[in-house]
Structure 1
Amino acid sequence: MDFDFIKTAGLIVTIVGLVVGWFLLWLTKREKAIEKSINDKRDFNHLLGNQKQISEGISTGFDDIEEQIKHLRELMLRIESYLIRNQGTNHRE
């Protein structure tokens, strides 16, 4: 009878140990999955912020280009008006 009790107690201890081990393994995997999810969200938010900064930079670049084009148009109008005004004075008769 002592032998059956020892076998039964050993079996119960083994089963409890397996259940506890499985639970700890599951808990560890769950924590890693949660941490990965948080890291993925953080990375996505960083990428989203970078995309917004790039878009703002492109927008600012286009604004600068538009300003330069506007300045060039004004210069061309001045040159054109100067040429039209002085068109008759440069001809020798």
Structure 2
Amino acid sequence: MSKMMLLVIDSFGIGAMDDCKKYVPSDCRANTYKHIRESMKGKLNIPTMYKLGLGTLVDNQPAPPYAFGYSKLAHHGADTYLGHQEIAGSCPKNPIKD
């Protein structure tokens, strides 16, 4: 079996999900990484993250040769718990509204 690495960093978002207006409008400007980078004023040094493909996602850099895609979440809203369930293989459904 081939090897795979999955790196999950909670609270290190790089943008809002497409449905943010529907669920949490205040999250539509969410971009934790961008705000950290701006507050560090050029002093953020994370070369390994860039070697793993972060620059592809945020700075339009070419993808590393071992990167084959990215995940577009299937669950609704920007809920971390549901995201963890999805990574584990489930596809959380939208809750039934009363």
TM over 0.5: no
TM-score using structure 2 length = 0.18
TM-score using structure 1 length = 0.18
